[in-house]
């Protein structure tokens, strides 16, 4: 027993020497490995910061639509999410361009054979990608990042358009409220005049009851108009992404806004306008980026039909023969059961689908363009007609009917008819201004809408 222990103690230095050799070799190899596998400089994904500064005391302020749009760029949740997705895409693009990490392994054999420590060695194995797979992986990821950037541009236009459009609707609701306030004031004065005429026995109680009912209707309509105005403002601030903003006055005028924009002057040259929109549309640009990504993905799957090569090399120490040995290996997968045909067919189908999607988006965009351009053409003369002729005549007719009723020259039905015509004309004029302004907004903004819609996954 003592002899066995003595033999074991004599062999321990040899075993410790073998392990020490393996450890030193491994550390040295790990230190030299980055130099052997020299790569291009690492480019970290860019970070996107959101400016969270906002003036909290907005109550009573007068702001422009441009200020509201600038606020939305920093606080709209859709834009925030897209900026974060671009950061994620940049990370994926960086990772896709990296080489595969090598495998460093320690191996021991024949330990204890004939009382020896056996063979100990270090093996380094590297898989080499062939067919340009790394290039195409990086290409696919780069087009994904580009598509995300195009989507961010599209959503920026969508948020700006929607904020501007909802601001127009808020201005229109404000004007409707003012009209209803005017009619409610007219109703109150008419009721006072009717009461005096009834006391003077110059009109019947039936007229008084009709005037009172109409005045109450005007008050109810005024309350509804104010509710609609509050709702229109809430739609503005939800698109901005700050639902805590108090209601403010917008410095812009609905009539002035309806006359601005690149399409509000030229109504006839629709073909040129469409070609400009088609060539510069961020929605179509994003679809084209998806086509390029699908083509790169197809090339990547075709490159997958070329097998990769695994190479390995090692160094071993044989304690029995007290000699150092080397080993080299090369391996390649045998494509017996498949050659990546299924993935190639899938990539071909995805490419065809993205091409069809571009065609569909072009048709949808052209349909929207025709609708908004027709709205501009239809409202051009209508707005001028209402502003220059119809509204002045209606306003004068209402004033004359009110004066005539106070003097007993007209009956209440004449006043009621004039009020109704005044309300309808003013409402129709505001609706025309709003429709013209909305059409201008979306044509100037490449027909982008859906500032709160879900982004692509």
For 263-311, the pLDDT digits (tens) are: 444 546 788 889 999 999 999 999 999 999 999 999 999 999 999 999 9
- Residue 47, pLDDT score: 34
CA 79, chain centre distance (Å): 5
Give the span between the Cα atoms of 365 and 34, in whole angstroms.
Answer: 52
At 343 the pLDDT is 96
What is residue 404's predicted lDDT score, i.e. its pLDDT?
Answer: 85
Most confident segment among 147-161, 172-186, 414-428:
147-161
For residues 8 and 19, give the distance between their C-alpha atoms in angstroms, rounded to a whole number. Answer: 16
- For residue 102, the model assigns a pLDDT of 96
- Separation CA 145–CA 35 (nearest Å): 30
> Do 189 and 106 touch, CB atoms closer than 8 A?
no
- C-alpha angle 160/161/162, rounded to 5°? 95
pLDDT score, position 25: 40
Contact yes or no for 208/198 (Cβ under 8 A): yes
pLDDT at 59: 65
Cα(451)–Cα(161) distance, integer angstroms: 8
| pLDDT recorded at residue 111 | 82
Task: Report the C-alpha gap between 245 and 142 in whole angstroms.
Answer: 39
Whole-angstrom Cα distance, residue 181 to residue 35? Answer: 80
Query: Which tens digits make up the pLDDT trace of 44-88?
Result: 333 333 333 444 556 668 899 999 999 999 999 999 999 999 999
Residue 310: strand pairing partners: 127, 331
Q: Where are the alpha helices (DSSP H) in 76-132?
A: 77-96
Place of tokens 């995300």: 148
- CA–CA–CA angle 128, 130, 136 (5° rounding): 115
Question: Alpha-carbon torsion 417, 422, 427, 429, what sign?
Answer: positive
Return the pLDDT at 260. Answer: 53
Integer Cα distance of 196 and 194 in angstroms: 5
pLDDT of 259 strictly over 80: no
Looking at residue 194, its pLDDT comes to: 76
Numbers of helices and strands, H then E, in the chain: 11, 6
Contacts 24+ apart (CB under 8 A), 220-229: 221/180, 221/183, 221/184, 222/177, 222/180, 222/181, 222/183, 222/184, 225/173, 225/176, 225/177, 225/179, 225/180, 226/177, 228/173, 228/176, 228/177, 229/170, 229/173, 229/174, 229/176, 229/177
Distance CA 176, CA 182 (A): 10
Round to whole Å and give the CA distance between 109 and 324. Answer: 14
Cα-based distances in Å from 361 to 206, 277, 357: 61, 13, 6
What's residue 42's pLDDT? 34
Backbone angles phi, psi at 426, to 5 degrees: -65, -40
Rounded Cα gap, residues 89 and 298, in angstroms: 19
What are the residue ranges of helices labelled H in 241-314? Answer: 254-258, 270-280, 282-303
Cα dihedral angle (174, 179, 182, 187), rounded to 10 degrees?
Answer: -120
Position 24 scores a pLDDT of 37
Instruction: Measure Cα distances from 331 to 129, 307, 308, 309 in Å.
Output: 12, 10, 9, 6
Q: Is 327 helix (H, G, I), strand (E, B) or coil?
A: strand
**pLDDT at res. 203:** 66
Task: Write down the pLDDT at residue 202.
Answer: 67
pLDDT of residue 433: 93
Residue-level pLDDT at 108:
87
> Checking DSSP bridges between strand 249-250 and strand 62-63, what pairing results, if any?
parallel
Mean pLDDT of the chain: 83
pTM over 0.85: no
- Nearest-angstrom CA–CA distance, 414 and 193: 15
* Per-residue tokens: 420: 């109704």
Q: By percentage, how much of the chain surpasses pLDDT 90?
A: 56
The answer to whether residues 118 and 108 touch, using CB atoms and an 8 Å cutoff, is yes
The 3-state DSSP class for residue 314 equals strand
Residue 451: helix, strand or coil by DSSP?
A: coil
What digits encode the pLDDT tens for the residues 361-371? 999 999 999 99
């Amino acid at each position: 027993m003592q002899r066995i222990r003595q033999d074991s103690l004599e062999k321990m230095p040899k075993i410790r020497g073998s392990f020490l050799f393996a450890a030193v070799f491994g550390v040295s190899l790990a230190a030299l490995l980055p130099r052997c596998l020299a790569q291009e400089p690492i480019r970290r994904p860019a970070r996107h910061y959101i400016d969270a500064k906002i003036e909290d005391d907005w109550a009573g302020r007068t702001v422009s639509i441009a200020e509201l749009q600038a606020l939305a760029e920093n606080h709209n949740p859709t834009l925030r999410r897209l900026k974060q997705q671009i950061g994620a895409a940049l990370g994926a693009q960086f990772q896709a361009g990296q080489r595969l990490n090598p495998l460093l392994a320690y191996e021991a054999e024949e330990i204890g054979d004939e009382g020896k420590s056996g063979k100990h060695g270090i093996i380094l194995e590297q898989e080499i990608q062939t067919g340009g797979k790394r290039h195409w992986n990086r290409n696919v990821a780069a087009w994904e990042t580009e598509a995300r950037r195009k989507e961010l541009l599209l959503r920026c236009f969508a948020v700006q358009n929607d904020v501007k459009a909802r601001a127009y609707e808020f201005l229109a609701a404000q004007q409707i409220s003012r009209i209803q306030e005017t009619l409610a004031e007219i109703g109150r004065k008419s009721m006072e005049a009717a009461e005096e005429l009834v006391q003077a026995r110059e009109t019947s109680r039936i007229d008084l009851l009709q005037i009172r009912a109409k005045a109450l209707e005007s008050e109810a309509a005024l309350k509804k108009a104010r509710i609609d105005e509050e709702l229109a403002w809430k739609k503005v601030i939800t698109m901005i992404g700050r639902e805590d903003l108090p209601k403010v006055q917008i410095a812009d005028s609905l009539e002035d806004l309806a006359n601005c924009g690149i399409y509000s002057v030229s109504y006839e040259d629709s073909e040129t306008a469409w070609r400009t929109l088609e060539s510069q549309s961020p929605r179509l640009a994003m679809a084209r980026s998806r086509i390029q990504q699908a083509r790169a993905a197809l090339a990547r799957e075709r490159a997958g039909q070329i097998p990769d090569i695994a190479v390995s090399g090692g160094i071993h120490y044989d304690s029995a023969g007290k000699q150092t040995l080397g080993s080299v290996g090369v391996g390649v997968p045998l494509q017996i059961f498949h050659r990546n045909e299924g993935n190639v067919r899938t990539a071909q189908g995805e490419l065809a689908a993205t091409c069809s999607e571009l065609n569909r988006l072009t048709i949808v965009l052209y349909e929207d363009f025709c609708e908004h351009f027709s709205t501009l053409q239809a409202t051009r003369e209508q707005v001028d007609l209402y502003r220059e002729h119809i509204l002045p005549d209606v306003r004068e007719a209402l004033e004359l009917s009110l004066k005539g009723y106070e003097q007993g020259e007209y009956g209440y039905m004449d006043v009621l008819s004039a009020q109704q015509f005044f309300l309808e004309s003013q409402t129709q004029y505001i609706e025309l201004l709003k429709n013209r302004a909305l059409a201008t907004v979306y044509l100037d903004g490449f027909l982008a809408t859906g500032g709160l819609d879900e982004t692509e996954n």
